[in-house]
Amino acid sequence: MKKSTTTIAILFAASMAAPAAISAGGYGAAGCGLGAIVFGSKPGMIQVLAATTNATFYSQTFGITTGTSECGGGVVKVQAEQKVYAYNNFGQLQKEIAQGRGERLQTLAYLMGCDAKAVDAFGAAAQKNYSAIFSDKSVDSDAMLERVRSAVQSDAAVASQCSAL
């Protein structure tokens, strides 16, 4: 009996220490969300309260999607950055897509989560689909962005290296 109690105590202590050692991102073992804002990254049982708070208010899921609640950049935030970038650089992007290379096209590839090895292939995929991307004269930056995204997604090798399409 005494041996099993000692074993349980050791396992409990180890389980409480392990999450504190692996937590990162400025929040504790419970992860990002309202719990991270309220309770911070303090180790120990407080993380149970943080996790309960996250689960009760669904703040972690919302935070990951939107990039709020200490959760960094979310899908909505990334797509908004892509839209603003495409709008502000529309004319130059049209020229660079025609060439299949250029500084602004490279930046668009990075905004779409492409790693450094995929940037040239991203440009080539966009260039190959230039006529589909700019199929009519009334195409705007939003349509261009969606068509570039579709063109890159249709190339499985490139799409696998771009995480924010």
Which of 46, 66, 86 corresponds to the end of one domain? 66
Residues 84 and 152 in one domain: yes
Average pLDDT over residues 131-152: 94
CA-CA-CA-CA torsion sign (136, 142, 148, 152):
negative
pLDDT of residue 57: 72
* Residue 163 structure tokens: 């995480």
pLDDT of residue 103: 95
In a domain, 126, yes or no: yes
Residues 88 and 113 in one domain: yes
19-56: per-residue pLDDT in tens? 443 444 556 676 777 677 777 777 888 887 777 777 77
In a domain, 104, yes or no: yes
Which of 12, 43, 66 corresponds to the end of one domain? 66
Which of 66, 99, 118 corresponds to the end of one domain? 66
In a domain, 164, yes or no: no
Residues 16 and 86 in one domain: no
Residues 6 and 81 in one domain: no
51-78: per-residue pLDDT in tens? 777 777 766 666 665 556 566 655 567 7
pLDDT of residue 62: 64
The alpha-helical segments, DSSP class H, found in 23-163 are: 34-39, 46-57, 59-66, 75-88, 90-99, 103-111, 119-128, 130-133, 141-153, 156-159
pLDDT of residue 159: 92
Query: In this predicted model, which residue has the larger pLDDT, 20 or 131?
Result: 131
Asked whether 71 and 63 are in contact (CB, 8 A), the reply is yes
Average pLDDT over residues 1-13: 54
Residues 81 and 154 in one domain: yes
Percent of the chain beyond pLDDT 90? 45
pLDDT of residue 160: 93
Give this prediction's pTM: 0.58
Q: Which range of residues forms the domain containing residue 10?
A: 2-66
